[in-house]
Amino acid sequence: MSYGEGSPRGTAAMRRHVGELVNGTPPSAARFADGAHYRIEIPSVENPLALRAVVDEARARNVTVHRVSQGSGAMLLTQEDLREMARIGADEGLEVNLFIGPREEFGIGGAVRSPDGLLLSGRLRGSHQLRYAIEDVVRAVDAGIRGFLIADTGLMEILAAMQRDGELPASIVWKISAVLAPSNAVSFRQLVALGGTTVNVPSDVTLEDLAELRALSEAPIDLYLEAPDSLGGVVRGHELAEIALVAAPLYAKFGLRNARAVYPAGGHLVDAVVGNVREKVRRAQLALEWLELSGVDLVTSKPGAEGIGVPEP
């Protein structure tokens, strides 16, 4: 896609437009280890069938997907499911990042299902849930998975210590969940210091907010460029150019507004899960088209690049 200088939508004009949008907001000098500004993440990839759908759709649309993440939890995948997802991820050079279970909203407590219960989502109640969560990680690691979503700070502390002590592979990526999304730079830095490899921030952050985060940490930022309704329903894939300029290194994450909730997923929701992830890849394609139209020259990673939690089956 290209437009001549005489076009009213020429790349020079678009480049000036992006420059105006970030004027006064310092661009990020940080990069992924391979020098890339951004990577693409498709969330709610709940099982091997959905993962194969992402791979097929991405290939058809010429979209490089670097990470898929999952929300139901590794606990709801069979050993063969885990091994199959690990094999697919390894073959494609992409990270398979699984949520951990059980957690508060899957338990017997009623508070999490109250009107304000979202504040408890992802937390682990008592030492018994911590124990199950650790076992869930070990079980998935044994199947080859090298990426996990963390929504409980106590669990993050334990897992980071296990990794330092050599009880878990050094190659594991710990993705701080949107449930813990920090709204200020100090909280962001604390989550990184606790062991988070990448951190999901609120989907409604401004460029100024992102610049503040970058001032205190160079850790990769995960940001929904389209968020599910439960996280605000933001649709801003067209802003990829200016967001990546300010937030790099960035995991550009594509949720889906007006989509059926699927956690915990299973055979009864298979059509919704697969349909959702295929559309998310299309949303990523649209964002990349807007990026190309902007004329801003940003670098993306190749599959299997350093720092991607590619499975090791």
- Going from N- to C-terminal start, the domains of the chain cover 27-294
Architecture of the structural domain at 27-294: Alpha-Beta Barrel (3.20)
Give me the phi and psi of 72, to 5 degrees please. -75, -25
Q: Are 132 and 106 in contact (CB under 8 A)?
A: no
Give the chain's mean pLDDT.
Answer: 89
What's the rounded Cα separation, in Å, for the pair 224 and 235? Answer: 9
The H or E element containing residue 41 is strand 38-42
pLDDT per position as a tens digit, 129-152? 899 999 999 999 999 999 999 999
**pLDDT higher than threshold 80 for residue 183:** yes
pLDDT in tens, 273-303: 999 999 999 999 999 999 999 999 999 999 9
Query: Who has greater pLDDT, 116 or 224?
Result: 224
Q: How confident is the model at residue 266 (pLDDT cuts 50, 70, 90)?
A: confident
The C-alpha atoms of residue 140 and residue 112 are separated, in whole angstroms, by 26
What are the start-end ranges of the H helices in the chain? 11-22, 48-61, 79-92, 126-142, 153-164, 185-194, 207-216, 240-247, 270-294
The predicted pLDDT at position 9 comes to 47
Residues whose CB falls within 8 Å of the CB of residue 128, separated by 6 or more in sequence, listed in order: none
Residue 253 near residue 222, CB atoms below 8 Å:
yes
